[in-house]
Amino acid sequence: MSETFSGRQGCRLCPRNCGDKVSASGIGICGVPRDLMIARAALHFWEEPCISGSRGSGAVFFSGCSMHCVFCQNSDISGNLDDITGKVISRERLTEIFWELREKGANNINLVTPDQYLPDVAWAVRKAKDEGFDLPFLMNCSGYEKVESIKALEGLIDIYLPDFKYMDPEVAARYSSAPDYPEVAKAAIAEMVRQCPVQEFAPETDFSKKNIDISHETEENGSSCTSVDEDERTALIKKGVIVRNLLLPGNVMNSREVVKYLYNTYGDSITLSLMSQYTPMPGIEKRFPELSRRVRVSEYRKVVDYAIRLGVTNAFIQDREVAKESFIPSFNYEGVERQ
Ligand code: SF4
């Protein structure tokens, strides 16, 4: 861990509001100091097709997370408060990383769980835009964000990719110690949709690869998402909101309630991404035995059928069980240091 951190005393960046209870070492519930820490900055091919395309999304994985979901799939960088993978970088370096990812061919800049660093991240994004940066910025987050934090990103973020994990406060309390999650996420997503009310798409501009069969490409790299709207399968999203829900074993009702709320509130102005890729992480069976298996095809089918019955037509659906640990990238500091 860096010796340069300034601590998070007084921090109220996220709904945990834990700034007055940070540890003696100056670290809050998010598990990281205030200095920017990232674990990987590289092309990422495992997002929805309209985000990854064939060239990949420029994903910057930030260290730390205020959610600490018991089933976290990225626990190397977010789960262990005392031993989180990450290197401290300056905000100027973060802007450089955006440009380097663009140079590598990224379709967009994908800020993965940046919540605990939002002031510095906003500074770096603004600097890049002032320098003429022309790729969309995407905020890939838990949905557990304060409205004022999202408001502060207006004009900086082009695409919001929040989770909506729980509609049931008891499930939210059990798996994320966040019984307020449903209400917090509803308000955060409302602000995201206010900023990006209309989805905009454009063809991928790497014409040298335009003949690649996207469905085949995604099958090979583990992401077999397909859009219900065939016409938009190969288009890249430039602006809008995509809301993800990861179905957990035994939690069909929770996911159905999420789908119902989102569709009844936003209709097809947002895209839903219904995910079945849950992978039990080692040791989870000790405290949460119900989460020690993968999601059954029949469970996922119930959620998808429900969405179709409701009338949802704008959704990504994983058309077979795709739970593979290969979805989890290697947090090896790729792209962190100047090249
Ligand atoms: S960002 Fe971290 S320190 Fe700040 S309120 Fe959230 S959990 Fe606490």
- CB of residue 118 inside a 6 A radius of ligand 1: no
- CB of residue 335 inside a 6 A radius of ligand 1: no
- CB of residue 30 inside a 6 A radius of ligand 1: yes
Q: Are 106 and 139 in contact (CB under 8 A)?
A: no
| Ligand 1 atom closest to 11 (CA) | 4
Q: Are 162 and 246 in contact (CB under 8 A)?
A: no
6: confidence class by pLDDT, cuts 50, 70, 90: low
Predicted pLDDT at 215: 34
Distance CA(109)–CA(99), nearest Å, equals: 9
Considering the domain boundaries, does residue 258 fall inside one?
A: yes
186: confidence class by pLDDT, cuts 50, 70, 90: very high
What rounded mean pLDDT belongs to the chain?
87
Q: Atom 3, ligand 1: which residue's CA is nearest?
A: 28
CATH number where 126 lies: 3.20.20.70
Predicted pLDDT at 326: 53
- Concatenating the DSSP letter of every residue in 237-287 gives EEEEEEEEEEPPTT-HHHHHHHHHHHHHHHGGGSEEEEE----PPTTHHHH
Considering the domain boundaries, does residue 295 fall inside one?
A: yes
| Ligand 1 atom closest to 32 (CA) | 2
DSSP-derived pairing of the beta strands 225-227 and 315-318: antiparallel
H or E stretch at 202: strand 200-203
Predicted pLDDT at 208: 41
| Ligand 1 atom closest to 29 (CA) | 7
Task: Tell me which residue range forms the domain holding 247.
Answer: 21-326
162: confidence class by pLDDT, cuts 50, 70, 90: very high
203: confidence class by pLDDT, cuts 50, 70, 90: confident
Cα separations in angstroms, 319 against 275, 277, 324: 10, 11, 14
Predicted pLDDT at 82: 64
Residue to probe by mutation, ligand 1, list 9, 12, 14, 141, most atoms within 8 Å of CB = 14
- CB of residue 16 inside a 6 A radius of ligand 1: yes
What would the pLDDT profile of 111-151 be if each residue is shown by its tens digit? 999 999 999 999 999 999 999 999 999 999 999 999 999 99
How much of the chain exceeds pLDDT 90, in percent? 72
Considering the domain boundaries, does residue 183 fall inside one?
A: yes
- CB of residue 250 inside a 6 A radius of ligand 1: no
209: confidence class by pLDDT, cuts 50, 70, 90: very low
- CB of residue 74 inside a 6 A radius of ligand 1: no
What spacing in Å lies between the alpha carbon of 132 and ligand 1's midpoint?
A: 32
DSSP letter assigned to residue 297 = H
Considering the domain boundaries, does residue 15 fall inside one?
A: no
- CB of residue 68 inside a 6 A radius of ligand 1: no
74: confidence class by pLDDT, cuts 50, 70, 90: confident
Distance CA(62)–CA(40), nearest Å, equals: 8
Considering the domain boundaries, does residue 215 fall inside one?
A: yes
What is the average per-residue pLDDT within 15-27?
Answer: 86
Considering the domain boundaries, does residue 13 fall inside one?
A: no
Please name the residue that has the structure tokens 């102005």: 269
What spacing in Å lies between the alpha carbon of 50 and ligand 1's midpoint?
A: 31
**Does the global pTM surpass 0.85?**
yes
Considering the domain boundaries, does residue 37 fall inside one?
A: yes
Give the chain's domain count. 1
Considering the domain boundaries, does residue 86 fall inside one?
A: yes
Beta-bridged to residue 111, according to DSSP, are 60, 139
- CB of residue 8 inside a 6 A radius of ligand 1: yes
Predicted pLDDT at 324: 52
- CB of residue 79 inside a 6 A radius of ligand 1: no
What would the pLDDT profile of 311-328 be if each residue is shown by its tens digit? 999 999 986 555 554 567
